[in-house]
Amino acid sequence: MVVEAAMHLYSVRSIEDVTVADIAAEAHMTSAAVYYHYPSKDEVLLGGLRLFAEQLLDELRGTVAEDPDAPLGDIIVRLLEWTDSQRSASLVYFVRSPGWSLSIEALRREVRLEMLAVFSAELRTRNRVASKAKQAAAATALSSLLEVSAASWLTEDAVLANLGRRKFSDEVRELAADICSV
């Protein structure tokens, strides 16, 4: 309950403007109750991001396993669509929290490394990319494509607004296909 309340607040306000008292009020608790579970608002944020990161990686793995023949661009678009159901946490992870703290950046690195491993394995099996160097480069590009497109998707920035979701998704698929053709 605390984490969900905090993630909602962090998704609609800047992280520095959210206080433990705000989180407590949103969660219908006292500040003391929040402090009982978390020593600071940054720890609540990190806890929420850890939970989201686990769900994101589970969704990636599940989507990959569910359709072993799908192009990786389709996998990325499905993840973008999934972020809609996790909107608050997705906004915080992809848009609001990058660069906020060293511990958050360490978590993001861990997630990125796991994504790289999944994408590398899929490039090897789905796209028959044999070179480990090409797998690594393409996996890095796919991970970056996911992060950048998720930020656009969630904020509905000018790129998305000009294209619309369907065309944006098609462009993501096309970029992923280009990346996978290494």
Of the candidates 38, 76, 86, 47, which has an alpha carbon nearest to the alpha carbon of residue 177?
76
The overall average pLDDT reported for the chain is 95
Q: Which DSSP symbol is given to 101? A: -
Span 50-89, pLDDT tens digits: 999 999 999 999 999 999 999 999 999 999 999 999 999 9
Q: Kindly report the pTM of this predicted structure.
A: 0.92
Closest to 5 measured CA to CA, from 21, 82, 95: 21
pLDDT of residue 118: 98
Cα–Cα distance measured from residue 120 to residue 137, given in angstroms and rounded to the nearest whole number = 9
What are the domain boundaries of the chain? 46-180
pLDDT tens by residue, 4-60 = 999 999 999 999 999 999 999 999 999 999 999 999 999 999 999 999 999 999 999
pLDDT at 110: 98
pLDDT tops 90 at residue 182: no
Find, among 71, 73, 85, 50, the residue nearest to 149 by Cα.
Answer: 73
Residue 139: burial class (beta carbons within 10 Å; 0-12, 13-18, 19+): buried
**SS3 state at 57:** helix
Q: What is the mean pLDDT of residues 113-142?
A: 96
DSSP state, residue 16: G
The class level of CATH for 46-180 reads: mainly alpha
Rounded Cα–Cα distance for residues 75 and 116 (Å): 14
User: Quick check: 6 and 93 in contact, CB under 8 A?
Assistant: no
pLDDT at 133 over 90: yes
- Mean pLDDT within 152-180: 95
